[in-house]
Amino acid sequence: MTTAGRVEQAREPQYPAISSDSVTWTPKPAIELSSQRAVRRHNLGVVLRQVVERGPRSRATIALDTGLNKTTVSSLVSELMDLGLLVERGAEARATAGRPGLVVDVAREGAVALGLEINVDYLGVQATDLAGGSRYKAIEAADNRRRGSDVVLDRLADLATEALREVRAQGLRPIGATVALPGLVDVTRGELLAAPNLHWTDVPVVELLRERMGADPLPLGADNEANLAALAELWEGAAVGLSDFMYASGQVGVGGGIVLGGELFRGYRGFGGEFGHTTVEADGLPCACGSHGCLETRGGLEPLLAAAGLDSEQITTTGSGKPVAELVKRAEAGEETALAALADCGRWLGVALGSVVNLLSPQAIVLGGYFAPISQWLKPPIERELSERVLGGAAAVPPVLPSSLGPEAAVRGAAATQLRRVLADPTLVNA
């Protein structure tokens, strides 16, 4: 089943302006020129982000808030209008006397980025505009474990092409696409190195997608789905304003994204955050990754549904949405088997999260993916385990928050990653 369509709405997040007056120029003309261009690009980003993050405003207000002078702001705004990223609209409402200035706003028909997702039981596409508004989305349930990577990528390319056609029909300009993947990703090369639940190894996703979308030479990227979801929670979800948190994602596997000091923590080779494969039992059950006793074998969706007496096979035919909705229904009705299964899942998550909290001391734990709709039942056993396992007493136990973006977190993070390149350097929109 594919659900697709246009949708409306929201907004995003920061950086100080660099005043060209305060830059000390080197004496060499070539370097001076490149420095001037770098300052200009930086300041274009500062002005664009002011409007994106804080809403429509006049040039005078932008000058006041950025510390840039009015002439510079006017020139930067003109360039952003030429780039098709800002438009002029009406007069600014003011409390003070004086002639109101015209406001500039993010162009409705400006830049848009695609977030694409390959997961074990579905494919997803999301188009987000510069103001954070969702302009198109499609989710297709699919048993990707039983299809080869070529077939899955063919279908993802079709979904992406359809999304591009739709956003172009809305007058938008696509600036890039990032693919969210359920496994270890070499972000530099755009390769999926290993996805145990898909049984895929060494799939050059970006290269294969580029071949399939040959007519559309968009910048393409790839990253781990939980990393992208954690970034989406940081930028526009439950973790806005937090600097250190652990994102735990329930999919068919269990994923994780770690944000430390406001940045995604990837680890030495970029493979960090594999929360689902932390050991909870030294001699535990075999895991799809080849090891045994991983959290995923106890706190994953399949053991949870099986313990609740639900058909975990359904995941492969309808996606995980239906069996999880059924589990929620049974839990709400107070069915004992369902409640016991949820309590057990929460306990295993709490065991693994206890180690995470002792290692990293995060401000919060965010529960995403299918953990979000069942978070009310997972929270008490997680908190009980944390209070027993975390050093430092109650004050050291972080709050457990449900994701506010739900299953869209990864695709929204994927699209936002591309948009943030343009917010940092708006001239890239013509690249």
Binding region for Zn ion (CB under 5 A): 277, 287, 289, 291, 294
Residue with tokens 């999260």: 353
* Shorter beta-carbon distance to Zn ion: residue 287 or 301: 287
Smallest distance, Zn ion to C-beta of residue 208, A? 26
To the nearest whole angstrom, how small is the minimum distance from the Cβ of residue 224 to Zn ion?
15
Beta bridge partners of 257: 247
Nearest approach in angstroms of CB 274 to Zn ion is: 8
As measured in angstroms, the least distance from the Cβ of 183 to Zn ion is 11
Nearest to 376 by CA among 341, 407, 406, 346: 346
Contact in structure between 89 and 106 (CB atoms under 8 Å): no
Is 126 exposed, middle or buried, given 0-12, 13-18 or 19+ CB atoms closer than 10 A?
buried
Our CB check for Zn ion shows the closer of 279 and 387 to be: 279
CB of 103 to Zn ion, least distance (A): 53
> Do 346 and 280 form a contact (C-beta atoms < 8 A)?
no
Q: Which is nearer to Zn ion, 199 or 322 (CB)?
A: 199
| Residue 185 or 209 having the CB closest to Zn ion | 185
The whole-angstrom separation of Cα 220 and Cα 206 is 6
The number of angstroms, rounded, from the C-alpha of 153 to the middle of its chain's C-alpha atoms is 20
Q: Is 100 exposed, middle or buried (0-12, 13-18, 19+ CB in 10 A)?
A: middle
> Shortest approach of Zn ion to residue 288 CB, angstroms?
6
Distance in angstroms (rounded) separating the CA atoms of residues 312 and 301: 8
For residue 254, the minimal CB distance to Zn ion (Å) is: 9
**Cβ–Cβ under 8 Å, residues 400 and 367:** yes
CB nearer to Zn ion: pick between 67 and 267:
267
Tokens of 29: 């003309």
Contact 187, 152 (CB under 8 A): no
Closest to Zn ion by CB, 72 vs 197, is: 197
Identify which of residues 184 and 428 has a Cβ nearer to Zn ion in the complex.
Answer: 184
